[in-house]
Structure 1
Amino acid sequence: MSASDSQSTDQLHFVTMQGLLAYGEALAQRTSGERFVLPPPPPPAADRLSRAEEATGLIRTFIQQAQAGLPSAEAYRTARQAVISDACGGDPLVFFAAWNRLLARGELAPLYRAPIGATQKPAHRRPVAIVPRTQLTPQLAEGRIVLDLGDDRFWLLPRDLGDRTLFLTMRHGVSEVESKTHRVGRRLANVLDADRGIPRAEAVGAALARMVGVVGQQLGYLQLRNYLDPRTFLHLISHSPNTEQLCRRITKALIRDRTDAVHPHIEATLESQDFGWVTGMEKQAEIDMAAQAFGVDAKTAKRLIKHPFYSYPGGHSFFDLYIDVIDGLHRLGRAHPGEVLCLYTHSSTLRALRIYLDPRPFREAFSEFGEYKEGQDNVVLLTLENGKLSGYSTAVGLIESERVAREAWVTVERERSQRVTLKPQRIKRLLALVSGGDFGGGGAALKELRVTGNRFGLEVFFVRHGFLGLANNWIDPVTEEDTRGMGSHASSPIGSSRFEDFKDEEVQRAAMRSLAPYLADSALVVLGGDGSLRGARAIHETYGVQVVGIPGTIDNNIAGTTSLGFHSAIALANQSIESLKATSAAMGSIFFVEVMGAGSGHLALACAYQARAEGILVNEHPDPDAYIEEIVLGTLKRTLGVPNKSHIFVVAERTPHRHHREGGVHGLVDYVANTIATWPQRREKSGHYALATATKATILGHTLRGAPPTPEDKMIAQHLAYETVRRLVEQPDTIVGCMVAYHDSNRLETIPLHAVAPKPFDWELFTRMHGTELAPDRV
C-alpha cells in the first residue's frame, strides 16, 4: 500500500458495514428513468450483514489470486463476478458492503501492483518523437507520417506502421446530461447537447482533420504529402449514442465525400464506468445521501466516493474500468497491427489512459489528474509497439489550454506553499540522501551540503542507500572527517539504490518513523533523477516532509536544468570512444557503442556529437529501422574502405528495431555485418585482397555511472548544494517542495517538484550532427 493509501485509510474510519448496507439498500430502491436502466433490486434479506462479513474472507482470496497474476481483464472480471456469485450469493449489495469495508481498511491496496493482463506500467517506455517546426528538416519528415499537434509541434511516425497500431482517442463533447453534475456511466443513453455539444464535436473534428493532414496536405516549406489517409481508418464507439454522434461529426470533417461509407463498430473497451443504482443521480444528492448514511458531513463522505477502489452499488470501481481500458487497448492493438483506429469514448476512459501514460504509480497519477473536466476536449494519441503503449495527449477544439494550465499552476503552488512549515533562520538539521542510479558529482554536492550546513550552524546527517536507508534507519551524523576526499569520489560515497518497495505503506511508515526525530526544524535533500524527485514529491505532499531536490542523473533528461553526472559520463564515454576511433581507423573496424538512455537520448546525442560519430540511434527517432537502412548502412556504403577512416555509431540502450526484441546493439551488429558481406564492392577481386572489416559492439553501460566527476560537475554540485542550504536558512518558502535548477553559475532557480518535466530532445543538434540543418531563410 502506498503512503497516500495509508492516509486514505485513516480518513475512512467512518465507513462501517452497517452504514454501507443502509446506504446501498436505500439506493437500490431507485427506479429506472427515461434515459437509463438500473440493475434490478435484489430481494429483501435479513442476513446481509453476516453474509457481508463472511464475504470479506473470499474477497481477500480474490486479491491474493490477482496478486499472483491474471492473464487478462476478462480473467479479472470473471474472478470478480465469481466472488459476487459464490461469496455473496449473487447479491450485489453484499459485495458492495464487503468490498468497500475492505477498501476503508486499506486491504485492497495490493491490487495496485497486481499483474493483471497488460495493465502494469512498463519500466521503460519509448518517448514520443515530437519535433518543433524550427527543428524539423526534410530528412526527418520525408517518408514519415506527420501529425500536426499545433503550437508548431509535430509527431513523426514511420510511414509503414508495420507492427505498430496507431490510436486516435477522443471523448464526446458536452452531452444533455452532463457528467460534471450527474452520474452518467454506461447505463445512461446520453446524447450530445444540441447547442454546445454538437458545435464542440465539430470543432474537435476540424482540429483532428488539421492534425492528420486533411487540411492543406502540405507542411509549409517542406512540401510534404505524407499525411495519414483517413479513408483507411477503423472507427470504434461505445453503446452510448453520444459517441456515435461524435464519430459522425469527426468523419464528416475527415472524409467529406464518403461519410455514409463509415460504419463504426461497438467496442466494449470504450464503455464508461458502471455506476449501478447511482446512474442518473445528481452528484450532490449522492454525496448528501452518503453523508446521512454514515453520519458525517458531505466533504468527509466524498473521500470514500472519490477513491479509485470505491465500487458503486450494483456497478463497479474506477480501478475496474482502468483494467478494462488498458488491457483492452493492448488487445485491440495486437488485433490490428499496421492500422489506424479512431476511438470515440468517454472522459473516464481518457482519464485511465492519462494515468497509465504518466510515469508515476497509479495512486499518485490518479490524484494528479483528478476528474476529466467537461471543458477538456483532448485527442490522446497512442501507438502500440513491441507490446507497449506510448502516447501523447494534446488539447484540441475549444479548450482554453493556457488558462487551464495557469489556474492549475496557481492552485498547486498555493498548496505547496501551505505545506512549508520551516521559518527563516529556524532550520537546525539537514539530512541528505542519493537515490536511483548513481552519478558523478554526488560526492561534491554532499560535501558542500556538510560544509555550508556547518557554517550556518546546522547539524548534517547522511542517509545511506537512499530511500532504502530511510526505511532501515541508516541515518548517520556527518563530521568534517567523514567528508574528506568526498568531492572527488566517483559515484555516490554514501550509496544509492533503486527501491521499488518504497511505494508500499508499511515501508513508507517505517521511513517516517526513522525521520520522526529529525522532522522538526529540519529538511531532507534528495539527490537523484526524475524517479527520485517523484519520491521526494510524494513524501512532501503526503507526509509534509520539508524536502528539496537536487537533479542528478547521467541521462540529463530533466527540463530546465543541467543534471549532475551528465558531464562526467560524457567525459568518460569520450575517452572510450576516442580509443575505439583509433583502432577503428587502424583496422577498418565498425563499432556500435551502446550507452545508457532507455528513456531519453540526451546522453547518446552528446556523446555522439562530441566524438563526431557517423550516426546515432536513439529511442526518440520516429523510425529506427529506417535510420539503420538509410543512415547507418548508407554512410558505410560511402565510407568503408576510405584510408584511416573510423566508423563509430552511438546507440542508446533499448532503442527498438526489428533485428532483436531487446533493441539497442543486440542483433544490430550481426545484421549490419551480414548486409555488408553481400555488397559487391566488399567481395574480393582477382589479384586484389580487401581489408577485412570487423563489426563489433561495445557496451559502456554502467561504467558511465561510476565516472570520476569532472571539474565542471564538481562546480555545478557545489553551486547547487550551497544555494540549497542558503535558501533553506534564509528563504525556505522559495525552495521547500522544489528542485534547484542549474543554468550557469550566476543563474540558479527553483522549480516546484510538481512542475518537474522531461527535457525535450534536441532535434536541432541531431540534424546539425547529420549536416542537415536548415538555412535561416528556410525556417
Structure 2
Amino acid sequence: MTEPTPTRHPNLAGIQRVAVLTSGGDAPGMNAAIRAVVRTAAFEGLEVMGVRRGFSGLHRGELKLIGPRDVANTIQRGGTILLTARSATWRTPEGRASGAQHLRDNGVGGLIVIGGDGSFHGAQLLEQEHGIPVIGIPGTIDNDLYGTDHTIGYFTAVETALDAVDKLRDTGASHERIFVIEVMGRHAGHIALDVAVAGGAEEVFIPEDDKPIGDVIQIVKDSVKKGKTGSIVIVAEGVPGGAQGVGDAIQAGTGLETRVSILGHIQRGGAPVSSDRILASRLGEAAVYALMDGVSGVMVGRHGSNIIHTPLHETWEKRKDVNRDLYRCAKKLSV
C-alpha cells in the first residue's frame, strides 16, 4: 500500500515565526503539544520562539528560538520544558504591553498558549489590546473547558488517581475501614466521576451536585449490612468542606473507622498516557494551522474525531457539564 505524501498547508496569513508558551498549572502532555507545535511549524517552514515561564517570562522577554531537535525525547515527559508560572504583572496593561513589544521585536506573527481558562483570559487581552493573533490549546487536568471533549492531562490524571484508589482499597478492605479520597477538580467533577466508576467507589461527591451528607451515611451503613469490609468515597476538591469534611461527617454518623487521603498535586505529574500524547499532538498541529489560516482568538479542541475552534471567551463563559449518564451509572453500580 502506498503511503500518503504529506502536503504543505497554505500560509494564508503569511506568518514566518510563531511563539508558544505554557501557563497555569502543568498538565501531562504539555510537552507533547510543544513538540507538535515546533515540528509542525518546521515542516511548514516556520520558526518557533519558545517562551519560558509563561506570561511571566513573556513580559520579561524570555524568548528563544527552538527547533525539532530541541523537542526530541520530550513526548513522554511530564511537566513542561518551557516551565510555567503565575504572573501578577500580566494582569496589568503595562505587563501585557511589554509582552506584546517583545513579540513584535522578535518578529512573532502569532502566539500559541497552552493552559486553562486563566491563561486564555490573558491571551484574549493580549489580542484585544495589541492585535497579536493568539490560539489556545486546552492544557489542564480538570477537563473543565467548554469546546473540547477532553483537555490535555486529563487522561493521565485519572489514571494516576485510579492507581492510588486501587491501593487504598486494598488497605481499606484489610482493616475494614472507610477511605474518603480527595481528587483534583476545583470547579468540575470530571476526574472524581471517572475515578469513582473505574475504582468501584460506593459514592462520589462532585461540585455539580449538592448531595446531602445524610444520604451517603445511609449508603455506608447499608454497605456494611451487605457484608462489605471496606468502602471508598471519592470527593472532588471543590466540594464544600472537601474530603475532610465528608470523612468527619461519615465517621460521626456511622461510628465506623474512617480515613481521609488527599491525593493533591501527585495527579499533575508523571509521564502522559497515550491518549494525552495523541490529543496533544493533534491539537499542537491544529494550533499552527489555525494561525497560518489567519484565525485568532480561539481554542483548538477535539469533538469526537474532529478538530473544532471555539472562541476563547466561550471556553469559560459556557458550562461544560459532567457526563450525567455516567453519574447515574456510578450510583447503580455502588449497590
- Normalised to the residue count of structure 2, the TM-score between the two structures is 0.90
2:71 aligned with 1:483: yes
1:458 aligns with 2:46: yes
The residue identity in structure 2 corresponding to 1:759 is K
TM superposition shift of 1:643? 5.1
CA positional deviation for 1:667: 3.3
Q: Secondary structure at the residue paired with 1:721?
A: helix
Choose the corresponding residue for 2:307, options 733, 748, 764: 748
The whole-number CA distance in structure 2 between the counterparts of 1:758 and 1:553 is: 16
Residue 258 of structure 2 aligns with an amino acid whose one-letter code is T
Cα deviation for residue 617 of structure 1 reads 1.1
Q: 1:761 aligns with which of 309, 322, 325?
A: 322
Structure 2 match to 1:705: 268
Instruction: Please name the residue that 1:739 is paired with.
Output: 299
Offset, 1:669: 2.2
Q: 1:469 aligns with which of 48, 57, 73?
A: 57
Give the Cα–Cα distance (whole angstroms) in 2 for the partners of residues 454 and 702 of structure 1. Answer: 34
Q: Distance in 2 between matches of 1:703 and 1:473?
A: 31
Distance 1:739 1:474 in 2: 24
- Measured in 2, the distance between the counterparts of 1:423 and 1:513 equals 24
Residue of 268, 280, 284 corresponding to 1:721: 284
Structure 1 residue 676 corresponds to structure 2 residue 254: yes
Q: Distance in 2 between matches of 1:736 and 1:674?
A: 54
The aligned runs of 1:191-206 (5 Å cut-off) are none
Q: Percent identity?
A: 31
8 Å CA contact retained: 2:47, 2:67: no
Q: Which residue number in structure 2 is paired with residue 579 of structure 1?
A: 167
Map 1:188-587; keep pairs closer than 5 Å.
Answer: 424=12, 426-519=14-107, 522-561=109-148, 562-587=150-175
Partner SS state of residue 580, structure 1: helix
Equivalence for 1:320: none
Mapped partners of 2:110, 2:86: distance in 1: 22
Whole-angstrom CA distance in 2 between matches of 1:767 and 1:615: 11
Root-mean-square deviation over aligned CA pairs: 2.0
Q: Do the aligned partners of 2:42 and 2:68 also contact (CA within 8 Å) in 1?
A: no
Tell me the amino acid that sits aligned with residue 633 of structure 1.
I
Secondary structure at the aligned position of 1:770 is classed as helix
Which residue of the partner structure matches residue 653 of structure 1? 237
Q: d(CA) in 1 for partners of 2:69 and 2:46?
A: 16
Shift of residue 666 of structure 1?
2.6
The residue that corresponds to 1:629 in the other structure is 214
Contact preservation (8 Å) 1:588, 1:640: no
Deviation at 1:527, TM superposition (A): 0.5
1:7-60 CA-to-partner distances (Å, cap 9, x unmatched) read xxxxxxxxxxxxxxxxxxxxxxxxxxxxxxxxxxxxxxxxxxxxxxxxxxxxxx
Amino acid at match of 2:138: P
Measure the CA separation in 2 of the matches of 1:586 and 1:538.
54
Q: Distance in 1 between matches of 2:141 and 2:52?
A: 20
SS in 1 for 2:244: coil
CA distance in 2, matches of 1:560, 1:479: 30
CA distance in 1, matches of 2:233, 2:17: 48
The 4+ residue runs of structure 1 with deviation greater than 6 A are: none
- Write the distance in 1 (CA, Å) between the matches of 2:265 and 2:36: 26
Whole-angstrom CA distance in 1 between matches of 2:116 and 2:291: 21
Which position in structure 2 is the counterpart of 1:665?
A: 243
- Give, in whole Å, the separation in 2 of the partners of 1:427 and 1:495: 25
**Partners of 2:198 and 2:86 in 1: how far apart?**
30
| 1:481 partner amino acid | R
Give me the whole-angstrom Cα distance separating, in 2, the residues matched to 1:483 and 1:489. Answer: 11
Could you tell me how far apart the structure 2 residues matched to 1:519 and 1:641 are? 69
SS in 2 for 1:736: coil
Cα distance, 1:504 vs structure 2: 1.2
**SS state at 2:59 partner:** helix
**In structure 1, distance between residues paired with 2:313 and 2:239:** 29
- Do the aligned partners of residues 474 and 653 (structure 1) sit closer, same or farther apart at CA in structure 2, a change above 3 Å counting? same
- Unaligned 5+ segments in structure 2 are 1-9
- Structure 2 Cα separation of the partners of residues 488 and 431 of structure 1: 22
1:594 aligns to what SS in structure 2? strand
Offset at residue 426 of structure 1 (A)? 1.3
Q: Whole-Å Cα distance in 1 between the matches of residues 57 and 84 of structure 2?
A: 9
Shift of 1:509: 2.2
Retained in 2: the 8 A contact 1:436–1:532? yes
Shift in CA distance, 672/537, structure 1 to aligned 2, threshold 3 Å: same
The aligned residue for residue 257 of structure 2 is 694
CA–CA separation in structure 2 for the residues paired with 1:467 and 1:620: 31
Q: SS in structure 2 opposite 1:461?
A: strand
Q: Is the 8 A contact 2:100 2:132 kept in 1?
A: no
Contact 1:619-1:654 at 8 Å conserved across structures: yes
**TM-score, normalisation: structure 1:** 0.40
- Partners of 1:544 and 1:645 lie apart in 2 by 61
How far apart, CA to CA, are the structure 2 residues paired with 1:481 and 1:560? 32
Alpha-carbon shift at residue 490 of structure 1 (Å): 0.7
The unaligned stretches of length 5 or more in structure 1 are 1-421, 657-662, 678-692, 773-779
1:508 aligned counterpart, secondary structure: helix
8 Å contact 1:591–1:697 — kept in the other structure?
Answer: yes
Q: Which has the larger radius of gyration?
A: 1
CA–CA distance in structure 2, aligned partners of residues 425 and 509 of structure 1: 23
CA distance in structure 1 between the partners assigned to 2:198 and 2:134 by the alignment: 36
Offset of 1:505 from its aligned partner? 2.2
2:186 to 571, 582, 598: 598
Cα deviations across residues 135-180 of structure 1 (Å, max 9, x unaligned)? xxxxxxxxxxxxxxxxxxxxxxxxxxxxxxxxxxxxxxxxxxxxxx
Aligned length: 321
- Per-residue deviation, 1:423: 6.3
In 2, Cα distance between equivalents of 1:443 and 1:721: 10
Distance 1:587 1:537 in 2: 52
